[in-house]
């Protein structure tokens, strides 16, 4: 098989229909790579094309390979395991317009009246109880999409009226209607939010957690290894509108209860429970104390969780333990299989997917590994989104299993909780104390 055919197939430059046509007319390879055409074909025709182009022989070669696979190997094997191509959905009602919603809110959000919505103004609004329903949904979208919106006309910092007017009248390159679809989705969330229960009456069941906008997949995937009793023990309602969240590293974070906009933006559980949102923000506040990187200029806890968290932080803060990493890219399939099986006997296991996967696994995303079936050679996983899966099992709930070699081709890292000695625990706590002291000194010096 020619390498260029293999690589084009792995990179989705050739769809199934084009593969069938390429098998009949190999001289048209370049044409098929540059265009996007879809003709009808039968499963038998696709199987014949895969065989004649050498792709089935490539699959057999990889399955017998005893050395670490390269990125190209993983790409072609992932694609061979996800050959179905869904049909386009039927058109529905047009989504609401983010541009119009943003312009309607503009004067209330522009508190300093400079004609621009800065990161601090949007963050202040997120923590305000003044915005409800559709207004809260629009506020969330403005906050989430600051980098795109403020560059619509490139007239300075922040989101200006001109930026929103340009979006309304001309659209923004690279948007393709995504902003309005996102607004419609968040309006639906806002409409379904249940009334608040007293916090300690919530279930604290991590199995019902659903990740939202924040980059907390590693934290929530780690959380899926905890029991409701362990999670509940992290929270204390102070009775004054604040909550104390005790993280696994021993730090205590006092948080204001979340607003409606924050309930839309952050993770939830069960029927709109808000303890996951408070946990996410507590982790963000802790990352700020530790001097981690942040995304938005407001330097709020939300900014510090927007970029994701290293496994070393998430295991400490959520599970109260350090972790070790297994780099699948450095191991043969058999060695990776053995180490995964061993890791699952030790405790919580989280897998990080490779960048750029398109086989139902979300690229650069963390999943909880819930099991390995040696007899069937399959891995069971859980997506903290509570949706989007590899393969199709009839229900899109984020829980799925996949053959081990598809797992190996789709994930690059496995993180597993490890036990630590009293000495290493003491050294960790001492280091945390030094970090806190440095942060306090910086606050005193620079505000």
Q: Is 394 left (phi over 0), alpha (psi -120 to 50) or beta?
A: left
pLDDT score, position 432: 47
Average confidence (pLDDT) over 242-261: 97
Contact 216, 283 (CB under 8 A): yes
Which among 337, 359, 367 has a CA at the least distance from the CA of 410?
359
Average confidence (pLDDT) over 15-42: 87
Q: Is the pLDDT of residue 363 over 60?
A: yes
**pLDDT band with cut points at 50, 70 and 90 for residue 94:** low
**pLDDT band with cut points at 50, 70 and 90 for residue 91:** very low
**pLDDT band with cut points at 50, 70 and 90 for residue 362:** very high
**pLDDT band with cut points at 50, 70 and 90 for residue 445:** very low
| 3-class DSSP assignment, residue 33 | helix
**Residue 387 structure tokens:** 């949706």
Question: What distance in Å separates the CA atoms of residue 299 and residue 357, rounded to the nearest whole number?
Answer: 31
pLDDT score, position 37: 81
CA angle centred on 96, ends 93 and 98, rounded to 5°:
150
Which among 304, 324, 323 has a CA at the least distance from the CA of 215?
304
The topology (CATH level 3) of 323-417 is Cathepsin B; Chain A (3.90.70)
- 424: CB partners within 8 A, 6+ apart: 322
* Mean residue pLDDT across the chain: 89
Q: Is the pLDDT of residue 120 over 90?
A: yes
pLDDT score, position 345: 94
Domain ranges of the chain: 3-63, 98-192, 199-318, 323-417
Kindly report the pTM of this predicted structure: 0.85
Q: Is the pLDDT of residue 338 over 70?
A: yes
pLDDT score, position 298: 86
Average confidence (pLDDT) over 297-314: 92
Question: What distance in Å separates the CA atoms of residue 95 and residue 35, rounded to the nearest whole number?
Answer: 30
pLDDT in tens, 217-236: 999 999 999 999 999 999 99
CB atoms within 10 A of CB 140: 29
């Amino acid at each position: 098989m020619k390498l260029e055919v293999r690589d084009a197939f792995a990179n989705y430059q050739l769809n199934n229909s084009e593969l069938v046509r390429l098998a009949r007319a190999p001289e048209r390879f370049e044409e098929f790579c540059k265009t996007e055409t879809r003709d009808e074909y039968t499963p038998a025709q696709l199987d014949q094309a895969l065989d004649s182009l050498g792709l089935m022989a490539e699959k057999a070669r990889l399955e017998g390979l005893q050395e670490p696979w390269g990125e190209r190997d993983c790409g072609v094997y992932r694609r061979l395991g996800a050959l179905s191509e869904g049909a386009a959905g039927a058109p529905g009602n047009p989504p609401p317009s983010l541009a119009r919603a943003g312009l309607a809110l503009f004067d209330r959000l522009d508190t300093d009246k400079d004609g621009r919505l800065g990161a601090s103004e949007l963050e202040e609004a997120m923590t305000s109880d003044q915005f409800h329903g559709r207004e809260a949904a629009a506020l969330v979208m403005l906050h989430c999409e600051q980098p795109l919106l403020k560059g619509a006309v490139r007239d300075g910092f922040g989101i200006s009226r001109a930026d929103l007017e340009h979006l309304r009248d001309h659209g923004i390159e690279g948007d393709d209607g995504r902003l309005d679809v996102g607004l419609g989705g968040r309006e639906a969330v806002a409409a379904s939010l249940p009334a608040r229960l007293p916090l300690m009456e919530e279930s604290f069941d991590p199995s019902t957690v659903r990740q939202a906008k924040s980059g907390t997949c590693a934290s929530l995937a780690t959380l899926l290894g905890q029991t409701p009793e362990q999670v509940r023990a992290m929270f204390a309602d102070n009775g004054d509108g604040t909550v104390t969240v005790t993280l696994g590293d021993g730090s205590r974070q006092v948080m204001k209860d979340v607003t409606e906009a924050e309930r839309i933006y952050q993770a939830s559980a069960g029927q709109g429970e808000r303890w996951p949102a408070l946990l996410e923000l507590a982790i963000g506040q802790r990352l700020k104390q530790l001097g981690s990187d942040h995304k938005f200029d407001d330097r709020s806890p939300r900014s510090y969780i927007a970029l994701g968290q290293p496994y070393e932080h998430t295991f400490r803060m959520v599970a109260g333990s350090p972790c070790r990493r297994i780099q699948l890219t450095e191991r043969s399939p058999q060695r990776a299989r053995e180490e995964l099986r061993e890791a699952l006997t030790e405790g919580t296991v989280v897998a990080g997917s490779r960048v750029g996967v398109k086989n139902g696994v979300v690229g650069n995303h963390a999943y909880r590994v819930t099991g390995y079936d040696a007899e069937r050679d399959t891995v069971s996983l859980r997506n903290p989104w509570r949706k989007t899966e590899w393969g199709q099992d009839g229900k899109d709930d984020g829980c799925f299993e996949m053959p081990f070699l598809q797992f190996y081709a789709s994930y690059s890292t496995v993180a597993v909780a490890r036990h630590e000695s009293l000495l290493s625990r003491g050294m960790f706590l001492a280091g945390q104390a030094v970090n806190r002291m440095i942060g306090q000194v910086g606050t005193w010096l620079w505000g």
